[in-house]
Amino acid sequence: MIFIEWPDTDAYFNLAAEEYIFQQLDKNQDYALLWQNRNAVIVGKHQNTIEEINQDFVEEHDIQVVRRQSGGGAVYHDLGNLNYTFIINTQTSLYDFKELSLPIVHALQRLGAQVEFTGRNDLVLDGKKISGAAQMIKQGRLLHHGTLLFHSNLEMLGKVLVAKPAKIESKGIKSVRSRVTNMRDYVPDISIDQFKSTFVQTLAEEHDITRYELSAADRAAISALAAEKYSTWDWNYGQSPEYDVKKEYRFDGGGLSIYLKVNKGVIQSVRIFGDYFGAGEISDVEERLQSVTIREDAVKAALSGLEINDYIHGLDLDTLAHFIAV
């Protein structure tokens, strides 16, 4: 088994690194990876991103939002959280969630954290979640990865994983919200560094472990994959399943209701209702929004040149674009 860790904390780079190691490194080998993201939300492959996160909070706190290749729900990462990944050949290894998490469980128990596996594929401590895991199977190989909460900011975690109260209907996979805790609250001296070495020792009891350092060529390919996929709005937001959303906006002088149907990040239909309309026909605004990507800059561009205040008294373009897109 090959063990790889790397120092980068950029979530775009790190999700790209996982995919690169899975797709490009020697497929006859099994891998164990440890890596950390600075503030980020990682959503499941089949999730509707805006349904899972507080977009304003994300922007205010400079949190990266990245879609991953495995299914399941949305989780928050920061430097108090450690991620592990196993990439294995499913013909030769077990791919049961519980079996796969055993080296993690054993290493944590050795450090005094009495974690347990639950039927939901979570690890819990004192009944509270400290780890969530997800899997992807491709071409006979399995990627199993999970989080480990050592000392994350749970206030941020709680705030960022709450969508604004918009009424959304979609077939997107919903996250299963749990009570979470940090292992540090139960084992005050537990550290990520200590865990890393105990984990490698635990693995070495069952496998021959070889360390591998990502080369300059690996890093260049990973950066390219991050640039073309994991850092793009198209992948992180646009890949969401079709959804319908009703948005309500109150402002001085009135209120606005907007109904949107969005597929692959593109507005399919839009209806705007309110009681404060001006001289302009609101259908002009609706028509301009047809087939527009639901991003703030794209919405702004589509509506540019329209004097929004003529259509909706008291509203300007920036406010409307932000409201529609976020």
Ligand X SMILES: Nc1ncnc2c1ncn2[C@@H]1O[C@H](COP(=O)(O)OC(=O)CCCC[C@@H]2CCSS2)[C@@H](O)[C@H]1O
Site for ligand X, rule CB under 6 A: 42, 68, 72-73, 75-77, 81, 83, 129, 131-134, 145-147, 149, 157, 161, 175-178, 180
Nearer to ligand X (CB atom), residue 95 or residue 276:
95
Nearer to ligand X (CB atom), residue 2 or residue 173:
173
Q: How far is the CB of 232 from ligand X (least distance, A)?
A: 18
CB atoms within 10 A of CB 215: 9
CA distance readout (Å), 322 to 16, 59, 270, 326: 29, 12, 15, 6
Nearer to ligand X (CB atom), residue 165 or residue 305:
165
Q: Please name the residue that has the structure tokens 């796969």.
A: 100
Q: How far is the CB of 45 from ligand X (least distance, A)?
A: 10
Nearer to ligand X (CB atom), residue 81 or residue 293:
81
- Evaluated on CA atoms 46, 52, 57, 63, the torsion sign reads negative
Side-chain-side CA neighbours of 118 within 13 Å: the count stands at 14
The string of DSSP codes covering 151-171 is: S--HHHHHHHT---S-EEEE-
Q: Residue 260 in contact with residue 269, Cβ under 8 Å? A: yes
Q: How far is the CB of 130 from ligand X (least distance, A)?
A: 6
Q: How far is the CB of 157 from ligand X (least distance, A)?
A: 5
Q: How far is the CB of 22 from ligand X (least distance, A)?
A: 13
Q: Residue 142 in contact with residue 52, Cβ under 8 Å? A: no
Nearer to ligand X (CB atom), residue 21 or residue 320:
21
